Structure 1
Amino acid sequence: MQPMSHFNASATLHLHALISDLHWRVAMLDADIQEAELKGNNSDPSSPTYPTLALTLRDRRSNLRASIETLEGRLDKASDVAHET
């Protein structure tokens, strides 16, 4: 049976890796949004002619950012627990 501290360290490392990957994906979506806006010659999301692809990518990016915030919250809690022990 593994000690709890090893599990916590492993879980924390996994969360850091996942958050890093999600940040990379957000950066890729930023580039894709910019490309869609350039191709559509419109960078105003409130415009009726704003590219549908860019809107979809913006929604996906927003969801990823929310996931990042949730995971960072878990990291903060794990860090607090680690400092209590």
Structure 2
Amino acid sequence: MQTTSRYEANALRALISDLRWRIQMLDSDIAEEERKAGNADPGSPTYSMLALALRSRRDNLRASIAMLQGQAERAAELSRAA
């Protein structure tokens, strides 16, 4: 059981790292789209629909990271306890 928990914790950390990288890419894409559109206010009626979609995707990834961090912490605790 210890090996599985350690493997799971490592796999989750790798996934979290990848998702953080993707968030950085989305942040860059959002900034570029806002620059092109000349509008960086998401509350504006003329705000880019693409930027809104990218923001939504980024926020979903952040929520996924929070959930995965909890799982990684539990897996690490199991690994230490075994």
Which band: TM-score by shorter chain? over 0.9
Counterparts of 1:9-24 in structure 2, within 5 Å, are: 9-24=6-21
- 2:79 matches 1:75: no
Aligned twin of 2:5: 8
1:80 CA drift (Å): 2.5
- 2:23 matches 1:26: yes
TM-score by length of 1: 0.91
| Partner amino acid, structure 1, of 2:80 | H
Q: Which runs of 5+ in 1 are unaligned?
A: none
1:10 CA drift (Å): 1.0
> SS state of the match for residue 46, structure 1?
coil
RMSD: 0.9
Distance 1:68 1:21 in 2: 10
1:76 CA drift (Å): 1.4
Distance 1:39 1:14 in 2: 38
Distance 1:8 1:73 in 2: 14
1:47 CA drift (Å): 0.2
Distance 2:25 2:10 in 1: 23
> Percent identity at matched positions?
50
